[in-house]
Structure 1
Amino acid sequence: MIALAQTWWKRNLINLTEQRSILVHVTGDRIGDALIKWPAIVALKNAFPAHRLVWLAGLRKSVFNGTLASVAAGVIDEVHDLAGVGVSWGELVRPPFPGRFDILISTEPKIRNAILLRRIAHSVFISPAANFLLSDIKPTPGTKFPSSTFDQMRYLANLAAGRELRVEPTIAVGAGNEKLAHELLPEGFVYVGFAPGAGAARKRWPKARYIELARNQVINGRIPVFFLGPNELSMREEIARAVPKALFPEQEPLATKKRSALLSIALAQRIALGVANDAGGGHLLAAGGRPLITLFGHTSEHKFKPPYCKQIAITAQEFGGTEMKLIPVSRVASAIEAVIGGEER
């Protein structure tokens, strides 16, 4: 239970019978960040079920307006992105973002964001900036704001609710997606998932290593399943030629017209284990709840740890640097055997 240092009148402002809207501000969100935060976002909505939850991406696009729109449906009521809010001192000469909000949460610990967002009409303002200096609700003195993305969002949601919220680290994919996933990846086989993509080249383990690893799985009697995003579709022909038994369920005719993030997660629920770079595709696999081996180069395995599953982090730093190519296939293959090899025996 989080103990809150707050006055009785601020506590009274957070009243389920009086409040009608909550605004959550981020600079922008990509697939990975959004999926990591998602269970805490759902917990916040469940704590205030009658309130409109408004998501405001101040600078960049929000995946809740795109790739993850199907996930957001029924939880986030409005999404505003590319809003130009909470990101530049030049906003001081413009009117603030319209509307009045019962709770306004600035998720990032930037003092500039906090100062700019406090201009928006609100009853209660929550911000971790400058150790919650400008926040109407403050944590117990001496407590530290978490470093991981998930724990940060959960911490802010708990402050807004005034109590420790129940967080369920699952995503409901729907019966239709579950049925389709079973058709695409039927019972009777051991599937190992691979997500070889990443937005930045320096976050990608070499494609040839994924191919070698997939071949090893075939030798061990398992079926490699590749999860390819729009930017990785060009890999399919080469991978299919090198690993003829590999499956690409998201590109099957049965799936192409129904493709969504929820279908990807439903498919991820069907695998025994996944291997991925620290990128959006890996977080989609993680949301399936199965064990995930994540490969890290220069990024932090602690900050971006998913809340849905057991994660095995393999870092380039184990091998003397930050370049992804330093991670050998043998290290990843051993990790796979440690997770699922014993189960098969």
Structure 2
Amino acid sequence: MVLPSPSAPLPAVGPLGERFADVRRIAVLRGGGLGDLLFAVPAVEALAHAYPGAEITLLGSPMHAALLTGRPGPVHDVEVLPVAPGIREARGQEEDPAATEEFVRRMRERRFDLAVQVHGGGRNSNPFLLRLGARHTVGTRTPDAVPLERSLPYVYYQHEMLRALEVVGLAGAPAVALEPRLAVTDEERDRARRHVGGGDRLVVVHPGATDPRRRWPAERFGDVAAAVAADGAQVLVVGDATDVESADVVVARAQAALPPAARGRVASLADRLDLGELAGLLSLADVVVANDSGPRHLARAVGAPTVGIFWFGNAVNAGPLGRSQDRMQMSWTSHCPECGIDCTQVGWTAPRCEHDPSFVAGVEVAPVLEDVRDLLGTAAHEAVA
């Protein structure tokens, strides 16, 4: 049996279409959050490999622009999407039709040869993509979405990275990587190092998640933080402005369980880091402990070992693929703890109850701590009760 060389493309996910001719400009539509962007990175790498020399433009969010602008990688530039239903949501902002029309006009002037939709089921994104006037289009679609030149069915329960790879396979782009990779600059690491010190290893904790149902109780993150700080590690809690309160709970819980001499090993950096500095810090971490969230996916992309707490449905769509450097503890909650509605029926048409209890509260501290210590090489320690 002849094995492929390390530089050879991996097989495509799904059927591999013929490559389009004379593709010099590619647009990739992927709005949403940090994790949404990172799920699309392997697909963008595949496009860059299949169409060498083509300029790839990401149509994304301000966060995506902040992270990728000037960073080495396959994305040449980022165009920030207008606020529009199903395209880009922004709290407190409504669609400005004139701004949307201006965006479409500018994108048509760029004369994209290929436009790729990896932005959901296509009800809103496919009509939007078609307005850009690209010579060729590929993407996903639900039965009621308008078709693109080449489409594949959108079925909710599919890993997002593999879904995106299947989409670009329609354009003749086989995979070259199955998980996202993101370059971190020396300057970002240097800025992050200012916060590091006071322990023999670094554990980074992120207790937040956009969806409250994906949040493990902050007190349990605090118990994990206390245990690894007692082992001698430094623990830094990260997050944005919405995570400050949870981060403070983590720190207070951990410090209350530690002797005075060890309390300084646990601190919060929530709402104090920009995205580049966060990437630098995560790249320095020995382990990152987090919910299913953008920072956990960013940690994986910059090479940090991770321990993630996942609702089992999200594990299908967003869980890590490997286990040597990534561990996952899952909650098997299938019905809302408050009203009993079936929470496995998800997607565009599924009912969503008004309740936001944690769907991952059933995950205990002990297995999470065991995973953290195993990755740190300290599995022989006793778990904290």
Shorter-chain TM band: 0.7 to 0.9
1:246 and 2:246 equivalent?
no
1:97 and 2:123 equivalent?
no
Say which is worse superposed, 102-111 or 274-283, in terms of deviation.
102-111
Query: Which runs of structure 2 are paired with 1:135-214 in the superposition (5 Å)?
Result: 135-137=148-150, 147-160=158-171, 162-167=172-177, 169-185=180-196, 189-214=200-225
CA distance, structure 1, for counterparts of residue 174 and residue 49 of structure 2: 12
Residue 186 of structure 1, CA deviation: 5.3
What amino acid maps onto 1:164 in structure 2? Answer: P
Contact 2:225–2:250 at 8 Å: present in 1 too?
no
What amino acid maps onto 1:225 in structure 2? Answer: L
C-alpha distance 69-48 of structure 1, shift in aligned 2 (>3 A): same
Instruction: Give the secondary structure class of the aligned counterpart of 1:104.
Output: strand
Q: State the identity as a percent.
A: 19
Contact 1:20–1:50 at 8 Å: present in 2 too?
yes
More helix by share: 1
Find the counterpart in structure 1 of residue 140 from structure 2: 128
Instruction: Give the secondary structure class of the aligned counterpart of 2:23.
Output: coil
What root-mean-square deviation, in Å, do the aligned CA atoms of Structure 1 and Structure 2 show? 3.9
Contact 1:96–1:120 at 8 Å: present in 2 too?
no
Residue 67 of structure 1, CA deviation: 5.4
Structure 2: which 5+ runs fail to align? 1-10, 88-96, 256-262, 338-357
For each residue in 1:136-156, what CA deviation from the matched residue of structure 2 results, as whole angstroms up to 9, or x when unmatched?
A: 3478xx9x9981111122222
Contact 2:207–2:246 at 8 Å: present in 1 too?
no
C-alpha distance 270-56 of structure 1, shift in aligned 2 (>3 A): closer
Instruction: Give the secondary structure class of the aligned counterpart of 1:105.
Output: strand
Find the counterpart in structure 2 of residue 280 from structure 1: 294
Contact 1:193–1:275 at 8 Å: present in 2 too?
yes
Residue 277 of structure 1, CA deviation: 1.0
Find the counterpart in structure 2 of residue 23 from structure 1: 27
Query: Which runs of structure 2 are paired with 1:288-303 in the superposition (5 Å)?
Result: 288-297=302-311, 299-303=313-317
1:117 and 2:129 equivalent?
yes
Contact 2:141–2:147 at 8 Å: present in 1 too?
yes
Contact 1:22–1:54 at 8 Å: present in 2 too?
yes
Residue 103 of structure 1, CA deviation: 0.4
Residue 276 of structure 1, CA deviation: 0.5
Instruction: Give the secondary structure class of the aligned counterpart of 1:302.
Output: helix
CA distance, structure 1, for counterparts of residue 364 and residue 112 of structure 2: 51
Count of residues in Structure 1 that have an aligned counterpart in Structure 2: 320
For each residue in 1:184-241, what CA deviation from the matched residue of structure 2 results, as whole angstroms up to 9, or x when unmatched?
A: 3359712222111222332221111111111111222222221232222345555445
CA distance, structure 2, for counterparts of residue 156 and residue 45 of structure 1: 14
Instruction: Give the secondary structure class of the aligned counterpart of 1:225.
Output: strand
Per the normalisation by structure 1, the TM-score is 0.75
Contact 2:45–2:74 at 8 Å: present in 1 too?
no
Contact 1:184–1:249 at 8 Å: present in 2 too?
no
For each residue in 1:254-295, what CA deviation from the matched residue of structure 2 results, as whole angstroms up to 9, or x when unmatched?
A: xx6xx4323212211222212101112222322332221111
1:326 and 2:362 equivalent?
yes
1:64 and 2:64 equivalent?
yes
Contact 1:71–1:262 at 8 Å: present in 2 too?
no
CA distance, structure 2, for counterparts of residue 5 and residue 195 of structure 1: 40
Structure 1: which 5+ runs fail to align? none
Query: Which runs of structure 2 are paired with 1:31-50 in the superposition (5 Å)?
Result: 31-50=34-53
Find the counterpart in structure 2 of residue 81 from structure 1: 81
Instruction: Give the secondary structure class of the aligned counterpart of 1:181.
Output: helix
C-alpha distance 137-145 of structure 1, shift in aligned 2 (>3 A): farther
What amino acid maps onto 1:287 in structure 2? Answer: A
CA distance, structure 2, for counterparts of residue 204 and residue 152 of structure 1: 25
Contact 1:294–1:312 at 8 Å: present in 2 too?
yes
What amino acid maps onto 1:159 in structure 2? Answer: L
Contact 1:30–1:62 at 8 Å: present in 2 too?
no
Residue 118 of structure 1, CA deviation: 2.9
Say which is worse superposed, 205-214 or 127-136, in terms of deviation.
127-136
